[in-house]
């Protein structure tokens, strides 16, 4: 269970986030929506523990994974090592299996720079799911992809989420992506940003 209860976050004197509280259960996907510049990334960085200068309290598990907008790989290590160095308990065989799942099994011994951008993003996904995370954070992972590739990546993400069942926090500005991943949608609005109440759609009622 992830519990977020931020009371305030500011850069200097400029407040960015107001009171924001929500929870994510294991297996649940939560999407944070909002226009660009509203503070989505700031919220995500606080929740991920990258930026701990906020007021409030966040409970998160040890075993986390993150997917950034950019692949953010170790370009100087092989594709396989990009999994095994990040997850020291992962065996070579399990790592190769994971590469197979995202469709780049034959690239294991290359350097990431030798892959296409799409393949690099697949590797970033493989890295995220290889550790069976309890909490997965995704920061606009499909932005700047052409629609066809974005669709393939979405489907792949969907499959992997179904398999690993982490609590997922997903930041995007595309409502369609959030709906596609069956996410509970939270919207950020205002300065400082807070969550806006919204109507519950039919399919969420049990």
- Residues found near another protein in the complex (CB under 8 A): 45, 48-50, 62, 64-66, 68, 70, 72, 74-77, 81, 85-88, 110-111, 113-114, 127, 131, 137
Of the pair 77, 180, the CB lying nearest another protein is at: 77
Token look-up 């799911």 returns 129
CB of 111 to another protein, least distance (A): 4
CB of 199 to another protein, least distance (A): 34
CB of 79 to another protein, least distance (A): 11
Token look-up 């997903």 returns 170
HSE-CB of 43 using CA atoms within 13 angstroms: 34
Of the pair 36, 201, the CB lying nearest another protein is at: 36
User: Before 192, cis peptide (omega within 30)?
Assistant: yes
Of the pair 23, 109, the CB lying nearest another protein is at: 109
Our CA angle for 60, 48, 131, nearest 5°, is 75
Tell me the C-alpha to C-alpha distance, in Å, between residue 164 and each of 1, 135, 178.
Answer: 15, 10, 18
Of the pair 29, 195, the CB lying nearest another protein is at: 29
């Amino acid at each position: 269970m992830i519990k977020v209860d931020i009371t305030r976050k500011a850069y200097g004197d400029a407040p960015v986030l107001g009171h924001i509280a929500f929870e994510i259960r294991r297996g649940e996907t939560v999407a944070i929506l909002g226009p660009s510049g509203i503070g989505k990334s700031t919220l995500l960085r606080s929740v991920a523990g990258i930026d701990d200068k906020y007021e409030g309290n966040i409970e998160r598990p040890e075993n986390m994974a993150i997917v950034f907008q950019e692949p953010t790989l170790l370009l100087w290590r092989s594709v396989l090592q990009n999994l095994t160095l990040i997850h020291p308990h992962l065996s070579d065989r399990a790592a190769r299996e994971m590469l197979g799942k995202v469709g780049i099994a034959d690239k294991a011994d290359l350097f990431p720079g030798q892959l296409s951008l799409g393949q690099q993003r697949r590797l970033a996904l493989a890295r995220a799911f290889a550790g069976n995370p309890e909490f997965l954070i995704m920061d606009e992972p499909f932005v700047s992809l052409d629609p066809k590739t974005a669709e393939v990546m979405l489907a792949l993400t969907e499959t992997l989420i179904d398999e690993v069942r982490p609590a997922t926090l997903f930041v995007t500005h595309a409502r369609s992506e959030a709906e596609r991943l069956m996410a509970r949608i939270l919207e950020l609005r205002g300065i400082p940003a807070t969550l806006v109440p919204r109507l519950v759609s039919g399919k969420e009622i049990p």
